[in-house]
Amino acid sequence: MSEIPSTVGEAELQAWVDGRLDAARRAHVDAWLEARPEEAERLSAYRAARDQLHAQYDAVLDEPVPAALLQRAGPGSGRWRAAAAVAGWIVLGAAVGGVAGWELRAERAGAPAAQSDMPILAHRAALAHATYAPEVRHPVEVGADQEPHLIAWLSKRLGGNVKAPQLGAEGLALVGGRLLPRDPGPVAQFMYQNAQGQRVTLYVRTEAPDQRETAFRYARDGNVRVFYWIDRKFGYALSSSDLERDELLRLANVVYRQLNP
């Protein structure tokens, strides 16, 4: 750009920080900033603060929702049921109530036995999928362009050799991955996307050493379909709300074979 614009308003700078300018305006502001290193530094600090906000609080998204909150949403709440009826959302009340009951059962069981822990794997994977798959701007923490770093980082945090399956032959490109906090030990989520923008996530958690291998199991949580299994050191869950069950099963087989060469 030959001509450096003289004025850019603060509101436009904020929109630049938030990545909400169209390409033309962004180029305009980029040029403006090039001539003003102090402003550029200030704005990059704003961007860093935004990343730090996510680093600090995104962990909340993967915490199990306390039963008390789900109960509040459950069919036990008479007012809620009445409101749902008015809004024609009884199906919603039933769905929330179903989850509430499910969480309560899990809680009563105390420390869940290995096998009864399996549905939790599916449920949390589905929740993590539902949370991150729709994200346009922050779908992953580390992008596929830094795949070696991503793998090394997740392997270190999970305490084992984590691998991201290559699904290019299935038309799915790795978008990247993220670390989600979990007790005990963190879990990893890899995200894949096909040319139509449909997304699939692979959720990987560390299993107890005495955990046995399992066959594929299938669960459906809302509109998220999940195939999940345990294989040696790790539990895996492959989730998608875009792909049909048969296609997801086919992919789960591909993933399983790649992880067990």
- Site residues (vs other proteins, CB under 8 A): 10-11, 13-15, 17-18, 20, 41-42, 44-46, 48-58, 60-63, 65-66, 68-70, 72-73, 77, 79-80, 83-84, 86-87, 89, 91-92, 95-96, 99, 127, 130-131, 137-138, 153, 222-224, 241
Residue type (1 letter), 165: P
Based on CB atoms, which residue is closest to other proteins, 91 or 195?
A: 91
Phi-psi group of 209: left, alpha or beta (phi > 0 → left; psi -120 to 50 → alpha; rest → beta): alpha
Q: At what angle do helices 10-17 and 37-57 cross, to 10 degrees?
A: 50
- Cβ at position 11, least distance to other proteins in Å: 4
Based on CB atoms, which residue is closest to other proteins, 9 or 209?
A: 9
- Cβ at position 113, least distance to other proteins in Å: 26
Taken in order 250, 254, 259, 261, the sign of the CA dihedral is: positive
Residue type (1 letter), 92: L
Task: Report the candidate in 234, 182, 189, 237 with the shortest Cα–Cα distance to residue 211.
Answer: 234
Based on CB atoms, which residue is closest to other proteins, 52 or 258?
A: 52
Q: How far apart are CA 223 and CA 3, in angstroms?
A: 51
Based on CB atoms, which residue is closest to other proteins, 11 or 23?
A: 11
- Cβ at position 18, least distance to other proteins in Å: 6
- Cβ at position 115, least distance to other proteins in Å: 25
- Cβ at position 62, least distance to other proteins in Å: 7
Tokens 């691998």 — which residue?
163
B/e letters for 9-26, b = 16+ CB within 10 Å, e = fewer, are eeebbebbbeeebeeeee
Based on CB atoms, which residue is closest to other proteins, 3 or 57?
A: 57
Based on CB atoms, which residue is closest to other proteins, 1 or 61?
A: 61
- Cβ at position 215, least distance to other proteins in Å: 27
DSSP one-letter string for 186-205? -EEEEEEE-TT--EEEEEEE
